[in-house]
Amino acid sequence: MAVCALCAPSAQDILWQDDFCRVVLLNDADYPAYCRVELLAHIKEMTDLPPQDRARTMKVVFAVEAAMREVIQPDKINLASLGNKTPHMHWHILPRFESDRHFPNSHWGEAVRDSGAQPLNTEVRERLQKVVIERVECALKN
């Protein structure tokens, strides 16, 4: 039986984590600020979680969204939990720009232009991490 890629992840750029979930910067070539919120436990669907853990998950997702909006001002945020290939609960938090490779399509859909994306520079990455930490920790207190 194959080991789940999110139960045994390879090296990750983790922006924040606790004993429930982690916020990972994917360092995607087309979408440099693309993050995932990954639960530590191997849970398949949101409704496999008790309601308070669903709420906890979404507080983290929305805190990451808020941090992205503050730091990189995208034109739109895309949120998704699919898991067809890796049925271990994770949320995609993807900042979109009208100039990005697939806009206005889904980034899983047809590309409509070359990507002009550049990796996040160190200063922006550090700022994103700082704001993610602040926003997540504040959200989890409320």
Rule CB under 8 A: which residues touch its own copies?
44-47, 51, 54-55, 58-59, 62, 65-66, 69, 76-85, 87, 96, 103-106, 108-109, 139, 142
Q: Which is nearer to its own copies, 3 or 11 (CB)?
A: 3
Q: Which is nearer to its own copies, 89 or 121 (CB)?
A: 89
Q: Cβ(38)–Cβ(90) under 8 Å?
A: yes
Read off the tokens for 85.
Answer: 């290939």
For residue 28, the minimal CB distance to its own copies (Å) is 15
Burial (CB count <10 Å: 0-12, 13-18, 19+), residue 141: exposed
For residue 89, the minimal CB distance to its own copies (Å) is 10
Amino acid (1-letter code) at residue 64: V
The rounded radius of gyration (Å) of the Cα atoms in the chain is 15
